[in-house]
Structure 1
């Protein structure tokens, strides 16, 4: 497997419909008020890190927020630009193609978002730590970082070696996850059956428990870290399919 699998533009092209459905865009728009409530403020200068085609960028752009959108994929940023053409944004969205290991803008943002498991992509966990340090340094004093991932606790507790999902457009997605390296990493083989076409890809993620991510965030310099089981602020437990952390600089 290519260690930098996320730089494979063919992956995003072939699996775009499975990863970025209209329903996901609608859900992201519904999450914006929850994000503001959970972080305790309506931020004015926001960074969406690994923004993809703009699921959260688009509704934020319609508010009185300055939004910076960063992603490593030219294809996904192209989709974001297309989507922005039909969005009534108050401020222009700043779009930047960059690797999150390298993107750093000191003390510039009130809120930084990493949504829907856009963290843990790198083979070396030290690179994940570098990302958290960049995020910390890019926040203004008192700024918030919201991290949304699938927690290791839930992944292990609900592990199945074969999953199938029927997509809304009649496509079939087959997932074959494998836990590796003492259950610290998840390797996933995806097969998408779309009409007469069959697409295959693989990708890998570092997975973390709530405590492991708390420790990493404190090591990056954050003063407080809160843990939740959803954007509605519920308690995190083994049944929580999302792990949400809100860290304050």
Structure 2
């Protein structure tokens, strides 16, 4: 079983990955960030939606949204988040359990989002390219894909120092990152410490520079490809915090 299909990973580490603080940060991004300022009524697909951190505020803002995820526990949390956003948000939301490698709805969306470094999961590079091609097919002519990852250049600035996340119940998570295959892949090891017990899991994904992901978008058939350093639309430079790449389906 591939690591991303292990529901226990998402359940056990959800408090660290998807904290209340992060949910508040995302809600503010959806409200204020230029890269998330979609036209009124734009149909949005959140690919690998997780617990609905982007999904719920987008639905509350009036967008018809579809959340796709492979993890049923994450979809359950997304249902709770959307329900808490109100009846209008709930009516505008569809949740689908599916693999991003397979999910396609030709021409059904104006925007496709893939955020929180949910891209590059597959061992075969051709499968990661197929995810982008699926997104292009699911977009209406002129529709936009936005992919948010930790860019290779950003990661190089801080990797090597373990990160610790304290959780409200007194437990904590230690994150250790290891670069593999000459900066082609990343192994992220999470250790959850609860009292005298510990649980460890590892996440593997491809690493992309801005140039590499830009070229992958072009190979998938996107036009007008741009790279940004954060959701505010700033440049991808030495001050960047994320790598955000956008492209448009041919009109």
Structure 2 length as normaliser, TM-score? Answer: 0.92
The range that moved more, 50-59 or 88-97, is 88-97
Other-structure match for 1:189:
189
Counterparts of 1:211 and 1:11, CA distance in 2: 31
Consecutive aligned runs of 4 or more in structure 1 exceeding 4 Å deviation: none
Other-structure match for 2:95:
95
Other-structure match for 2:202:
202
1:13 equivalent in alignment to 2:11: yes
* Cα separation, partners in 2 of 1:89 and 1:150, compared to 1, 3 Å: farther
Q: Any residues of structure 2 matched to 1:201-240 within 5 Å, and which?
A: 201-240=201-240
Other-structure match for 1:38:
35
Secondary structure of the 1:60 match is: helix
Q: How much does 1:163 deviate?
A: 3.0
Secondary structure of the 1:10 match is: helix
Other-structure match for 2:152:
152
User: Which residue of 34, 37, 47 corresponds with 1:49?
Assistant: 47
Other-structure match for 2:173:
173
CA deviations 1:29-67 (Å, max 9, x no partner) are 1111345x3266425210000000100011111122110
Secondary structure of the 1:85 match is: helix
Counterparts of 1:158 and 1:201, CA distance in 2: 21
Counterparts of 2:177 and 2:96, CA distance in 1: 32
CA deviations 1:172-207 (Å, max 9, x no partner) are 221221111111100111101134442211110101
Secondary structure of the 2:215 match is: helix
C-alpha contact 1:106 1:139 (8 A) present in aligned 2: yes
1:85 equivalent in alignment to 2:83: yes
Counterparts of 2:32 and 2:113, CA distance in 1: 13
Structure 1 length as normaliser, TM-score? Answer: 0.93
Counterparts of 1:41 and 1:172, CA distance in 2: 37
* Cα separation, partners in 2 of 1:86 and 1:34, compared to 1, 3 Å: closer
Gaps of 5+ in 1: none
CA deviations 1:82-118 (Å, max 9, x no partner) are 2223221423311100000000000110111111111
Counterparts of 2:204 and 2:150, CA distance in 1: 13
Task: Say how many residue pairs are matched.
Answer: 246
1:112 equivalent in alignment to 2:112: yes
Counterparts of 1:133 and 1:64, CA distance in 2: 27
Counterparts of 2:181 and 2:113, CA distance in 1: 28
Other-structure match for 2:247:
247
Q: How much does 1:161 deviate?
A: 5.1
C-alpha contact 1:225 1:246 (8 A) present in aligned 2: yes
CA deviations 1:3-45 (Å, max 9, x no partner) are x21110111111111111001111111111345x326642521
Counterparts of 2:163 and 2:85, CA distance in 1: 35
